[in-house]
């Protein structure tokens, strides 16, 4: 089995600029990749006074490097969204 086929555990951290505007599309993408998602945590940053971003989502996902990259790239390609993956194993 090569490295691209091996399953990994990763986190994907997602910053959302305007939660009300982007929540639907972000949730659609997460649902599309839902078979690999182990856990999801959402935080309302507006209450914390963080400038420029209103939401933060952290997702724990299991999948190949390609699966993790596909999710991250799809989210990061949206206007107003920043997504960064960190493969843990």
CATH number at residue 80: 3.30.70.1150
Per-residue confidence (pLDDT) for residue 48, from 0 to 100 = 63
Residue 21 lies in a domain: yes
Residue 19 lies in a domain: yes
The total number of structural domains in the chain stands at 1
Residue 31 lies in a domain: yes
Q: Is the per-residue pLDDT at 1 higher than 60?
A: no
| Cα-Cα-Cα-Cα dihedral sign, residues 68, 74, 77, 80 | negative
User: What digits encode the pLDDT tens for the residues 11-29?
Assistant: 999 999 888 788 899 999 9
Domain that holds residue 21: 8-87
pTM beyond 0.85, yes or no: yes
User: What digits encode the pLDDT tens for the residues 18-76?
Assistant: 887 888 999 999 999 999 999 999 988 876 666 777 889 999 999 999 999 999 999 99
Residue 1 lies in a domain: no
Instruction: Report the chain's terminal Cα–Cα distance, integer Å.
Output: 16
Angle at 17 between CA 16 and CA 23, to 5 degrees: 50
Residue 68 lies in a domain: yes
Measured in whole angstroms, the distance separating CA 9 from the mean position of its chain's CA atoms is 13
Residue 2 lies in a domain: no
Cβ atoms of residues 17 and 80 within 8 Å: yes
């Amino acid at each position: 089995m090569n490295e691209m086929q091996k399953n990994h555990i990763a986190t994907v951290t997602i910053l959302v600029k305007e939660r009300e505007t982007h929540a639907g599309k972000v949730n659609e993408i997460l649902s599309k990749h839902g078979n690999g998602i182990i856990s999801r945590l959402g935080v309302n940053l507006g209450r914390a006074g963080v400038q420029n971003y209103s939401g933060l989502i952290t997702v724990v996902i299991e999948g190949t490097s390609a699966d993790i990259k596909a999710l991250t790239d799809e989210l990061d390609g949206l206007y107003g969204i920043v997504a960064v993956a960190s493969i843990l194993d």
